A and B are shown apart, each in its own frame.
Chain A
Amino acid sequence: MRTEQDCDGCGQVDAHPRVHYGAETYHHDCIPHRVLVDLTTVGTFVNGQYVETPDVPMSEEAAATVARLVEIVDACKGGLKGDDLLAFIESPEA
């Protein structure tokens, strides 16, 4: 059973997937610009100056998933098809 929640963007109450941004809650397509910037920017110090660069900070788990997807796409581009592609996708390491 999914719990219905408010959206702080559109105000609608439903059980659709949400982004919990601290105390705020949004539908994924109701995210304010400032939140989107925070989710897609990483701040670093370069030569003593604070610089924000486009990036998506991810957990190790999410980063590993993305890396795996890239491997599968690369394998497809390399011509892997059919059962060979299935075996590659199902292999524990690639």
Chain B
Amino acid sequence: MAGTSGLSSAATGVAQLALAAINGGTALSITGPLKVLFLSAIRTVNNGTDTQWSTSGGYTNGTGFSGLTFAAATTDTTGAHQSSNVAATITNAPAGTWAGCKVVDSAGTPKELWYAPVSPSKTVNAGDTVTVPSGSFTTDLG
């Protein structure tokens, strides 16, 4: 669902790189660990225009939760699917709005992988614990 969630095609996104790799171009390189960045505002079209939480309390801008992992991919008649298998938690979160998350890699210039909203967005008080449950990042191709 490009625009509301999906594979990022922002300037540093991987959608265009994945297409090129699949179609015989340069292999796609992803540098681990994968990071989950928490957003106070999320794009409404697939252009990478998000606002990430500022560094405060237990949150570090640009780092977020580091170490997102995924279970093995599965396939069915609708395509291929892969879901996260670890809870991504920020303890002592800063006050603000939780509108969504995006997943980036750890390259020097991080690549944007996936983005997804929290709907409806949630109000977070300072010191709250914020978690993306294990299995909640569901990714699909096909």
Hey, which bits of chain A sit against chain B, CB under 8 A? Answer: 2-3, 5, 15, 17-23, 25, 28, 35, 38-39, 41-45, 50, 57-62, 65
Contact = CB atoms under 8 A, between A and B. Distances in A.
A59 B60 CA distance: 9
Interface residues of B, number: 38
Contacts of A42: 86
A23 B130 CA distance: 10
B47 interface: no
Given A15-B125, A20-B128, A38 B60 contact: no
Nearest to B124: A20
Interface string B98-142: 100000000000000000001100111111111111101000000
Given A60-B63, A61-B59, A61-B63, A22 B131 contact: yes
A59 B89 CA distance: 7
The binding surface of chain A is classed by DSSP as: mixed
A22 B125 contact: no
A3 B89 contact: no
Query: Which are the 9 A-B pairs with shortest beta-carbon distances?
Result: A43-B85, A19-B129, A20-B130, A59-B65, A60-B66, A3-B123, A2-B125, A22-B133, A18-B128
Contact of B131 (A5, A15, A39, A65): A39
A41 B85 CA distance: 10
